[in-house]
Structure 1
């Protein structure tokens, strides 16, 4: 398995951050790694969305876990490996929220593909989380 985690503390409330997460159609406004996104249902387990990174092919993903106000997990199943990203909110220092993005690549081919694609998938996490935090704090 391949793993990576990035977290940031913010003064934005978990409720405010959560509102930005559940508005999937709005992600391209604050996430430069998304050119286009299409959602096939509500923000709930089982909902599929298709995300197109700039200049790349669309990626079909599915919400596999949703704990309102706290976390959600999306998953891309590539057959012999699965890319799973957990987006979590935790209480931090008084008046602060910790925003966590954690990606795991598992499955039969994870040891081969993880070190190759994992860094590319997660390279923009600091920028994405930073943009989300700036939006939520404004």
Structure 2
């Protein structure tokens, strides 16, 4: 298995970040450099989605884990490889900690992961900053 993750903290609530993350994966939100998503059913575990990275071919994925305000994960199969993308949200004193993790597994993961993984996850920091910026629109002040 090959893994990489990026973690950052936002002063925004987990709810606001979750709503932005959900809107992105429902195809209702896009920002510069974001993948384009098309859900084929409800935003729920087991639902398939089409993912189109900027400038690349569309591929199919499936939501494999979803707990509101806590975690979202989808998995994509490419030959004997499985790519698992997971966002985990955790409330902390300063706001919300978000970890975006990529796991590449399968028989050839140890060989392919070190080359493919950084190509996929190299922009996690930029993507998360843009997600946080988009999440500001979902923040509710009471």
TM above 0.5, yes or no, is yes
Report the CA distance between 1:31 and its aligned residue.
5.3
Q: In the alignment, is residue 54 of structure 1 matched against residue 46 of structure 2?
A: no
In the aligned structure 2, how far is the partner of 1:31 from the partner of 1:83?
23
User: What TM-score do the two structures reach when normalised by structure 2?
Assistant: 0.88
Distance 1:31 1:109 in 2: 32
1 CA distance for matches of 2:59 and 2:69? 25
Offset, 1:112: 1.4
Task: Provide the residue aligned with 1:33 in structure 2.
Answer: 34
Q: Which residue of 1 aligns with 2:13?
A: 13
Contact 1:63 1:74 in 2 (8 A): yes
Rounded Cα–Cα distance in structure 1 between residues aligned with 2:43 and 2:135: 19
Which residue of 2 is the match for residue 78 of structure 1? Answer: 78
2:14 is equivalent to residue 22 of structure 1: no
Matched, 1:98 2:97: yes
Deviation at 1:95, TM superposition (A): 4.1
Corresponding residue for 2:140? none
Structure 1 residues 106 and 64: alpha-carbon distance in aligned structure 2, compared to 1, 3 A threshold: same
TM-score computed with the length of structure 1 as normaliser: 0.91
Unaligned segments of structure 1, at least 5 residues:
none
Deviations along 1:46-66, whole A, 9 cap, x unmatched? 111111112211121110001
The equivalences for 1:111-130 within 5 A come to 111-130=110-129
CA RMSD of aligned residues (A): 1.4
Q: Which runs of 5 or more structure 2 residues have no equivalent in the other structure? A: 138-142
d(CA) in 2 for partners of 1:48, 1:31? 24
SS at the partner of 1:112? Answer: helix
Displacement of 1:21 = 1.5
